[in-house]
Amino acid sequence: MQKRGILLIGHGSRNKNSSDVLEKTAAIMEEKTQIPVQHCFLEFNHPDVKEGLDLLIQKADTISAVPMLLSSGTHTEKTIPELLDIKIGETKTIEKDGKIITLTYTGEPIGAEEALADILIRKTNFPA
**Cα gap 105→91, rounded to integer Å:** 7
Question: Could you list the active site residues?
Answer: 11
First CA to last CA across the chain, in angstroms?
46
